[in-house]
Structure 1
Amino acid sequence: MEFLKAPIVILSLTICCVTSAPIKGGYWPSWAQDSFPPSNINTTLFTHVYYAFLSPNPNTFQFDNIEATTASALNSFTTTLHRKNPNIKALFSIGGGSFGTDVFSNMASSAGSRASFIRSTIQVARKYGFDGADLDWEYPQTQTDMDNLGLLLGEWRVAVNQEAKSTGKPRLLLSAATNYMPEITFDEVCDYPVASINSNLDWINAMCYDYYGPWTPDATGPPAALYDPSGDGLSTSDGLQSWISAGIQRQKLVMGLPLYGWTWKLADPSVHGIGAPALGIGPGNDGSLLYSEVQQFNAQNNAKVVYDTSTVSYYSYAGTSWIGYDDVNSIQKKVQYARSLNIGGYFFWTVVGDQGWKISRLASQTWT
């Protein structure tokens, strides 16, 4: 997960037994420290908030490179959230989309390097007051990577259990952000270690977004559609159902929701539906706009807003600019859909994208 392409494999250090209460998560990007400090977060709307991101030393696989300013930000994050809401869980997310895969692949490839990483994550969590850790490995590239991820999760669970027993402290939470489906294809098709996930993680954060974006520049598309009428499997329903079919425990499956949109430049302003020919990215930061920025764009440009019932997604257009995103109806229907599946909850990437907490509040009220 990163701005705005996330999210991300995510490991959160959490209690092993997930309760029936839904997870209402949100990622807070550390680069928003000045514009949107943790004190701005409405902690009544979330059960878990993730600090994004911390990265291990690529050589030692430990967090031995935390600078003073980062250390201060970590302390501020946990202290602020726990003061505002003592019941909220604060986790730190490790890696992120821009961190890449090589360091994680190397770390997970041997017992010694896995142990160094695990030991350091526990030390960071305790030192800075976190309730858990979240692994954002984007993405394991081979089945060997996936198998090593399974080993890592098992050893991590043993370590956090032992640490809690020896110290008498609450057990740290463990979660992982994953692909929206339990399999992913690079040079080969590889499958997430579902059995290890069930045994060792408290939940996974399935990144149910980024189905279309700047990497599909020739035509517009719904970035986070609930349904895919084309049958290509690029949808949240396809992703969640495939995880369930793969055998994941439903309460350990958490659905990702985007608080941003992707933009395109239309080839012909008169052709503006989903799948319209495009000439690359449109307005925004590398073709992305926060949800709040989408609302501003629509108002300032008198954009035409369309709710597409077949995909359960929104798009808007003005001139040659086209934006795909989620809004009130699509978010509510997604949360209702996830609840009907009896899965573990939902999370947002990222909390800074909302407009007056409109979407976050709606989601929280929909799943009470």
Structure 2
Amino acid sequence: MASDLKLLHSLYLVIVFVVFQTLTVSNSDVLPSPDYPEVVPTSPAILSLPEPSKSQLRSHPYVRPPKPGIRAAYWPSYSSLPASAIETSYFTHIYYAFLVPSPTTYALNVTSDDLIRIPEFIHALRSKTPRVKTLLSIGGGGSNSTLFSIIAGSRAERGKFIKSTIDVARKYGFDGVDLDWEFPADDVDMANLAVLYKEWRRGLVSESLTSRKPRLLLTSAVHFAAGFFHDEPRSYPAREMSKYLDWVSPMCFDYHGSWDNFTGLHSALNDPNSNISTVYGIGSWIKSGIPPNKLVMGLPVYGRTWKLQDPKVNGVGAPAVGVGPGDEGTLVYYKIIEFNKKNHAVVAFDSNAVSFYSNAGDSWIGYEDVPSIRLKVRFARSLGLGGYFFWALGQDYRWAISGEGRYLILTLI
């Protein structure tokens, strides 16, 4: 355990050397309420960070020439943003979210709404320039985890499920399929998940040879860390994931929320007091054996909110007595901008977590803004990750966050 912590600490030091060498905000910087194009931190800070060793420089891919990355986003089928309004120049891949399996047949359940929305989605994106790849995402946070456990645990049910995903993807013209199982409950589920990935990939290859069409992509959204503890400890089947998936998408958000009685930054890059952070999570995936270029890091386009116990005690970790503005403690980015402006909120940047937070009265919001997204994308590039994805389309403000990611990828190339 001590050696693991030492390894992760060394990884973190190398990361911060690259990511924060141009960082110019201290923890105490307080900024006025944002009004776009962006809030730009201006106060200088001197960071005392050690130089990386020669062996560290040789072992980390940020010293290699960068390559174009994946810039993906999920489009919820219930989104108020029409598929025709998606600005594809900011993305390379768009996920349709979500379809779920039938609890009786284990085939995908294409609802009456999906019968309308999927063709609209595919037609709209095919008509746009530049072209993007489309993936059919299956599951989601509100889906039945037990149902996926049943499917993964039976050869017959796996076969029905896999065939259905291929049939639906081909019928509507998707370029790939994506699994978002939140979350396998134990090591038995994880072992069965490994078999599901293996058989799924075989099915995709076989179908490609038979149809003489390009193989459908196979990806998976996963917990932010490769191993985690909820009711009991469990670890993802990293070897099989590396072998059978085109890429793995750690969801680097929802570290804190309405389940906490204190404020928190729900997509913190680093947390000096715990391993609930993106640095730890991505480090754990790399340590598990997933190549960095197969990791596509998740970024949120929404914040988490709380009601402060005492408006005068309003920093990160302040006591809270419930949720703040938004839907059950969740507020999408464009509404955060509106809230901050309307309520003359005080906005602060936490340079350790590389995240923003704001408060007005007893309302407190932790979220990402353009400068923090900029640094998190640089973090992904510094490790040679495959790219990033956003949850979700329809939550941005005039494409400010989406555009920032595209700008950084292109300029770093």
Fold shared per TM-score above 0.5: yes
Please give the residue correspondences for 1:212-231 in structure 2 after superposition, counting only pairs within 5 Å: 212-216=256-260, 218-230=261-273
Distance 1:90 1:304 in 2: 39
Q: Compute the displacement of 1:86 (Å).
A: 5.9
- 1:88 maps to what in 2? 132
Normalising to structure 1: TM-score of the pair? 0.92
Q: Is the 8 A contact 2:136 2:174 kept in 1?
A: yes
1:23 aligns with 2:70: yes
Percent of matched pairs sharing the same residue:
48
Aligned position for 1:12: none
Shift of 1:92: 1.1
Cα offsets for 1:25-73 (capped at 9, x unmatched): 00011111xx21101111110001011110110121102x423331121
When structure 1 is superposed on structure 2, of 147-156 and 177-186 the one drifting more is 177-186
Deviating above 3 A after TM superposition, structure 1's stretches of 4 or more consecutive aligned residues are none
Helix, strand or coil at the partner of 1:55? strand
Pair member with larger Rg: 2
In the other structure, the counterpart of 1:10 is none
Correspondent of 1:55 among 87, 95, 100: 100
Map 1:172-191; keep pairs closer than 5 Å: 172-191=216-235
Indicate the SS of the match to 1:107: helix
C-alpha root-mean-square deviation of aligned residues, in Å?
A: 1.2
Residue in 2 that maps onto 1:285: 327
For the 8 Å contact 1:264–1:279, the answer to whether it is kept is: yes
Distance 2:130 2:115 in 1: 21
Q: Secondary structure at the match of 2:127?
A: helix
1:194 — aligned with what?
Answer: 238
Q: Give the counterpart letter for 2:76 in structure 1.
A: P
1:163 aligns with 2:210: no
* Mapped partners of 2:226, 2:370: distance in 1: 28
Aligned ranges 1:59-78 → 2 under 5 Å: 59-63=104-108, 65-78=109-122
Please give the alpha-carbon distance, in whole angstroms, between the structure 1 residues aligned to 2:67 and 2:151. 34
Q: CA deviation at 1:21?
A: 2.8
Partner of 1:139: 183
Q: Structure 1 CA distance, aligned partners of 2:153 and 2:330?
A: 35
Q: Counterpart in 2 of 1:4?
A: none
2:208 counterpart letter in structure 1 = A
- Contact 2:81–2:393, Cα closer than 8 Å, also in 1: no
What are the Cα deviations for residues 165-184 of structure 1, in whole angstroms up to 9, with x where unaligned? 11111110000000000012
The equivalent residue for 1:346 is 388
* 1:304 alignment counterpart: 346
Residue in structure 2 matched with residue 247 of structure 1 by the alignment: 289
Structure-2 change in CA distance of 1:158 and 1:20 (3 Å): farther
The answer for the alignment partner of 1:257 in structure 2 is: 299
Q: What's the TM-score once normalised by structure 2's chain length?
A: 0.82
Q: CA deviation at 1:188?
A: 2.0
CA shift at 1:240, angstroms?
Answer: 0.5
Alignment partner of 2:315: what SS?
coil
Q: Give the aligned residue type for 1:224.
A: S
SS in 1 for 2:319: coil
**Deviation readout 1:241-270 (Å, 9 max, x if unpaired):** 110011101111010000000100011111
Contact 1:220–1:274, Cα closer than 8 Å, also in 2: yes
Asked if structure 2 preserves the Cα contact closer than 8 Å seen for 1:79 and 1:129, the reply is no
- Could you tell me which runs of 5 or more consecutive residues in structure 1 were left unpaired when the two chains were aligned: 1-18
